[in-house]
Amino acid sequence: MKEEIKIKTLVTYSSLTNNTKKVAEAIYDAVDTKKDICSISEVPDLSDYDIVAIGYWVDKGNCDNNVKKLLETLHSKKVLLFGTLGASDIGEYYKDVKKRVEEQLAGVNQLLGHFLCQGKIDERLTEHYKKQLKDDPDNPHIKAQLENHKQASSHPDAQDLQNAKDFVKRYIG
């Protein structure tokens, strides 16, 4: 009788406002292998894992520094990337972010897929823009930023989380 091969997956995430944590939990629920989940600050020895799903929040158009550091240490892993950002999925911005994040991953790894969705924006940034608007009430950029913050406030929503689950199902049976 053949010995069954057990694939083991780690879902880890860095989350500033709990957006990426929510997506990580949805992905973890959808993973149909032996699995573990943890914050990026608690990542165990990766030699026990066949697949590593890594979640990040977008910081200035790239993954946050904690994820950058982890991506630099990976060797010969199958990797799923997922992230959240305040911007909506319009234009080329999501593609540009994905490209920059993927460039952080060493070539000896195999990128299985990459998921990105909108998340609510840190309230401190929203307050910053509200203060700016008081000083400059006709500024179209500030008004557009605040409108985006309003739209982002409900994300990741149920559809985003289902999309994350569907995403992972394509790569991890």
3-state secondary structure 51-117: EEEEEEEEECCEECHHHHHHHHHCCCCEEEEEEEECCCCCCCHHHHHHHHHHHCCCCCCEEEEEEEE
pLDDT class of 5 with cuts at 50, 70, 90? low
Calculate the CA 51 to chain-centre distance.
16
pLDDT in tens, 152-166: 899 999 999 999 999
Q: Give residue-wise pLDDT tens across range 18-45.
A: 999 999 999 999 999 999 999 999 999 9
Q: Bridge partners of 118? A: 85
Rg (C-alpha) for the chain, rounded Å, is 18
Average pLDDT, the chain: 92
C-alpha 154/C-alpha 118 separation (Å) is 9
What per-residue confidence (pLDDT) applies to 87?
85
pLDDT per position as a tens digit, 70-102: 999 899 999 999 999 998 887 799 999 999 999
Q: What's the CA gap between 101 and 70, in Å, rounded?
A: 12
Q: Give the closest residue to 116 by CA, choosing from 128, 100, 136.
A: 100
| Nearest CA-CA partner of 115 in 26, 40, 9 | 26
Q: What is the pLDDT of residue 173?
A: 62
Q: Is pLDDT of 123 > 90?
A: no
**Domains parsed from the chain with CATH numbers:** 8-120+156-171 (3.40.50.360), 121-154 (no CATH)
Residue 161 and residue 50: Cα distance in Å, rounded? 24
* pLDDT at residue 90, rounded to an integer: 74
Sole residue written with tokens 């860095």: 14
CA pseudo-torsion sign 71, 57, 111, 162: positive
Residue 3 has phi, psi (to 5 degrees) of -80, 130
The predicted model gives 51-58 an average pLDDT of 97
Name which of 16-20, 27-31, 61-65, 124-128 the model is least confident about.
124-128
